[in-house]
Amino acid sequence: MTPSASPFPPPPFSDPRLTEQRNPRTERIDVASSLDIVDLLNAEDRTVPTAVHGERERIARAIDEVVAAFGRGGRLVYVGAGTSGRLGVLDAAECPPTFGTPPELVIGLIAGGYPALIKSAEGAEDDVNAGMAAIDDAQVTPRDVVVGIAASGTTPFVRAALSRAQTIGAKTVLVSCSDPPKQLADTCDVVILPKVGPEALTGSTRMKAGTATKLVLNTISTGAMIRMGRAYGNLMVDLMALSDKLRDRGQRIVMEVCGVDRDAARRAIEDAGGSVKLAIVMAKTGQSHDAARRALEAAGGFIRKAIGDPPPVMGTGA
């Protein structure tokens, strides 16, 4: 027994998972005022970025795995249950409008299927067969990388999905906020563990664990897309101008990068078939659509390699 070990056994109602433990800082939250509740929750939330930062090297490894998967013609596949599954589907859904990717490049699988996005299906997380079937239905191959998301690290649906993906030969990543079973940790290629500690409401992993998960997934997908040339400086140039908001954003990007007025930017995007990236190369170099496309392809899709550095950020008073 170590000097710090308790001589008493843990109570029968205790749970070894960090996400299931009680938080002593919020034990009187049920008698707090509205403002005090806000302060208590905010104080807990402030611990999340530090926990995520502690996993920076493992998150970077996950980005490298996704970039490698894209390079071999594979996909990024998120799989989770409950809040974890919804966050995976959300991150996947945001990639096409943000980065101009085909919807099949990043996909999200959730226990209970898409109905579980809008109506909870908590029992679905225990269905091991469904976890394996989800991987098969998604036609996962050895070219893919599968990111399992399980706040507690023990979700049967996710564990079964990762096991099936490993059997197929896909790379696997686990994102959890509590230590997973050793066998699961040992078999995944990357394990990301932002340990945010007990929740303000015991076991409510939609809170700190959910916030940490959102930060991790944002970083993985954004980092991979940047590494694949889908940004120019910090400009979101691979978007397709298919809505009023995106058309306005695309025009402003072309105006800033190429030093043209809005009418010229609008014409360039129209001539580029809605592609802001292609419009930039066309407007900056005066090349035709086909010539600009070939220049981008020769540069591996990286605008900086095709036309040089972007303009510096102008002062905004921020």
Contact at 8 Å (CB) between 18 and 195?
Answer: yes
Contact at 8 Å (CB) between 148 and 110?
Answer: no
Catalytic annotation present for 27 = no
Among candidates 154, 133, 135, which has minimal Cα distance to 209? Answer: 154
Catalytic annotation present for 94 = yes
Beta bridge partners of 76: 106, 145
Which candidate in 94, 122, 270, 297 is catalytic?
94
Contact at 8 Å (CB) between 189 and 171?
Answer: yes
Instruction: Tell me the CB-side half-sphere exposure of residue 48, using CA atoms within 13 A.
Output: 20
Rounded Cα distance between 18 and 210, Å, is 14
Rounded Cα distance between 116 and 194, Å, is 25
Rounded Cα distance between 163 and 156, Å, is 10
Among candidates 311, 272, 318, which has minimal Cα distance to 295? Answer: 272
Tokens of 155: 């979700």
Contact at 8 Å (CB) between 129 and 160?
Answer: yes
Tokens of 84: 């974890």
Tokens of 214: 């959102």
H/E stretch holding 110: strand 106-110
Rounded Cα distance between 178 and 158, Å, is 14
Q: Are strands 145-149 and 171-175 parallel, antiparallel or unpaired?
A: parallel
Tokens of 30: 């049920």
Rounded Cα distance between 276 and 229, Å, is 13
Rounded Cα distance between 49 and 57, Å, is 14
Which candidate in 44, 55, 65, 125 is catalytic?
125
Enumerate the active-site residues: 94, 125
